[in-house]
Amino acid sequence: MATQIFVNLAVKDLNRSVEFFTKLGYTFNPKFTDEKATCMIISDTIYIMLLTEPFFQTFTSKRIIDAHKEVECSICISAESKDEVNEMVAKAEAAGAIIPNPATDYGFMYQHSFADLDGHHWEFVWMDPNGAPEHQPED
């Protein structure tokens, strides 16, 4: 069985977050959805668990940050093309996301990002599999 990843994110309003990510084209697993949480499907092995802040807090004794002011992580998802990167960011902006920076084009890699309704940082990236520079070890 392939390794799966479940990223857990605290959200203020679960229904609002589901509506936002539905506009980006994502679907949700109803088996893992209730009034406190939902499982957003990114791929066959990648899932984002959107948890209401009170429910998220039951998993940690640490304070939940305000992702509009601080960053806890950057979620980066690959895309099939530069156009797909731009399409996802455009959908996010149309659904209410903030675009903090313009797209960056490194030639072999193209990326663009947005902050979702709760301030979480998302990046979409396209990489040319034949164009990545080779890593040169330091002497």
Mean pLDDT (the chain) is 94
Q: Summarize pLDDT for 77-112 with one digit per residue, the tens.
A: 999 999 999 999 999 999 999 999 999 999 999 999
Q: Any idea which of 2-6, 40-44, 125-129, 131-135 has the lowest mean pLDDT?
A: 131-135
Confidence at 129, pLDDT banded by 50, 70, 90: confident
Domains and CATH numbers, the chain: 5-127 (3.10.180.10)
Contact 85, 125 (CB under 8 A): yes
Confidence at 139, pLDDT banded by 50, 70, 90: low
Q: Which residues contact 95 (CB under 8 A, 6 or more apart)?
A: 19, 20, 23, 24
Question: What is the pLDDT averaged over residues 38-57?
Answer: 97
Question: Residue type at 124?
Answer: F
